[in-house]
Amino acid sequence: MTDPRRRVPRTDALLADPRLAEAARVLGRTLVKTVIADAQQRARAGDITPEHVADHAVAALPSAAASLRPVINATGVVVHTNLGRAPLSRAAVDAVVTAGGATDVEFDLATGLRARRGRGALAALARAVPTAGGVHVVNNNAAALLLAAMTLASGREIVISRGELIEIGDGFRIPELLESTGARIREVGTTNRTHLRDYADAIGPDTGFVLKVHPSNYHVTGFTKAVSITELARLDAPLVVDIGSGLLTPHPVLPDEPDATTALRAGADLVTASGDKLLGGPQAGLLFGTADLIERLRRHPAARALRVDKLTLAALEATLVGPPTPVERALTADLADLRERAQRLATQLPDAQAVDCVAAVGGGGAPEVTLPSAGVSLPESFAAALRAGTPPVVGRVESGRCVLDLRTVDPEEDARLLEAISRCT
Ligand SMILES: *Cc1c(COP(=O)(O)O)cnc(C)c1O
């Protein structure tokens, strides 16, 4: 009897299989060869028969060339950091696809000359926050703070309250980021209380700017005092405010969350924010401020290293002018509708119950806000099975049950969610 290992088909023979040839065209030869090599290895190890190598390779083909997979977020955490923060709206996704090709991002089709990069997105941002004298977009909010520190405080001091020296997540600390630019942090006040005179006493010829940071991911209660933007604006130093979440105007569901328009009206010279938290757009750092400050930031040599890609500009513009984002829809979803959806799903599934639950804003934002919600409760064992499915569904485990919170699931995804759960029963 011949050694089955010698009957394992060769790579070129497998690549000639029409299914694998088509996959090589769509996904690339390198990726398909990796999949083929795995299948051949399994045949050599005796896990599969040599005759089935092609079938196994076909079954193991990924559906796309990139390894990132679409996931149904049923965690109830609206801006889920580990699931990529804000999911883009359909309009923003379409804009990204269009901008993926050659596009007039920096070109004027009428004159044939170079044009201002991302002018459509910048104009949309300026229209969304008319109080701002100028706007600028960088890679993320961390980059916005970096650019502000490099431009306004290199070799100088940034005056900040001890209560606002915060760590955002994954070990990222705002004071360390600022110091990396060569600026010095001048801490004022105490952890729980900082007064206007603490700031006033620290301001001098070495001051680059005063920084107010929204402590987005925690909440101090009790004997506390912070100084308002209005008061800080009266001091004799530029005032930079990091609002974090990216709301452009006040939000009815999140009354304590700061927004760019209110911060500027209160007297901030520069406001920084993220694009992919509550704004519901792509990862970006948004800067709003006086025209001359924004111009100085734009002209800093490092601005080029922090600039955003055309895909980001496209998604940002579509987020700003397009229909309500998935984040906005999740925040404002009506509880009665959520309960009805939960009921409808639960009646179609053997082990499921419709339950009330509590969703959260997430993304390090509004930690004290809870959003009443509804979902489907399943036995705990479903959690792992659902994550392993296609599409993967991520729920949360609560008191020994797997709860799928519908506030973060688009109603249009209910049918796919139902199929995904049914496959696990
Ligand atoms: C999230 C956050 C940041 C960091 O923003 P990125 O866009 O992730 O860089 C900075 N400051 C505050 C207050 C935040 O909430």
pLDDT in tens, 317-332: 999 999 999 999 999 9
pLDDT digits 0-9 by tens, 116-142: 999 999 999 999 999 999 999 999 999
Strand partners, 242: 213, 272
3-state secondary structure of 29: helix
Residue ranges matching CATH 3.40.640.10 in the chain: 88-322
Ligand 1 atom with the shortest distance to the CA of 283: 7
Ligand 1 atom with the shortest distance to the CA of 274: 7
Residue ranges matching CATH 3.90.1150.180 in the chain: 70-82+326-421
pLDDT digits 0-9 by tens, 213-242: 998 777 777 888 888 999 999 999 999 999
Give the pLDDT confidence score for residue 291 in this predicted structure.
Answer: 97
d(CA 71, CA 377) in angstroms, rounded, equals: 19
Ligand 1 atom with the shortest distance to the CA of 277: 1
d(CA 163, CA 275) in angstroms, rounded, equals: 25
Residue closest by Cα to atom 15 of ligand 1? 244
Q: How far is the CA of 312 from the centre of ligand 1 (A)?
A: 17
Residue closest by Cα to atom 2 of ligand 1? 244
List residues near ligand 1 (CB under 6 A): 140-142, 168, 213-214, 216, 242, 244, 274, 285, 364
Structure tokens at 33: 């060869």
Strand partners, 211: 160, 240
Q: Give the residue from 151, 140, 161 showing the smallest Cα distance to 183.
A: 151
Residue closest by Cα to atom 5 of ligand 1? 141
Give me the residue label for tokens 């760019």.
Answer: 260
CATH code of the region 70-82+326-421:
3.90.1150.180
E-strand stretches of 77-215: 77-79, 107-108, 113-114, 134-138, 157-161, 167-169, 172-173, 184-188, 207-213
pTM, whole model, 2 decimals?
A: 0.93
Q: Give the residue from 209, 189, 183, 194 showing the smallest Cα distance to 271.
A: 209
Question: 391 preceded by cis ω (within 30°)?
Answer: yes
d(CA 350, CA 356) in angstroms, rounded, equals: 18
C-beta atoms surrounding 162 within 10 Å: 14
Going by the DSSP 8-state scheme, the letter that residue 376 receives in this structure is E
Give the pLDDT confidence score for residue 99 in this predicted structure.
Answer: 97
d(CA 112, CA 324) in angstroms, rounded, equals: 35
What residue ranges of the chain have pLDDT lower than 50?
none
Give the pLDDT confidence score for residue 374 in this predicted structure.
Answer: 98
E-strand stretches of 27-151: 72-73, 77-79, 107-108, 113-114, 134-138
d(CA 173, CA 86) in angstroms, rounded, equals: 22
CATH code of the region 88-322:
3.40.640.10
d(CA 306, CA 276) in angstroms, rounded, equals: 16
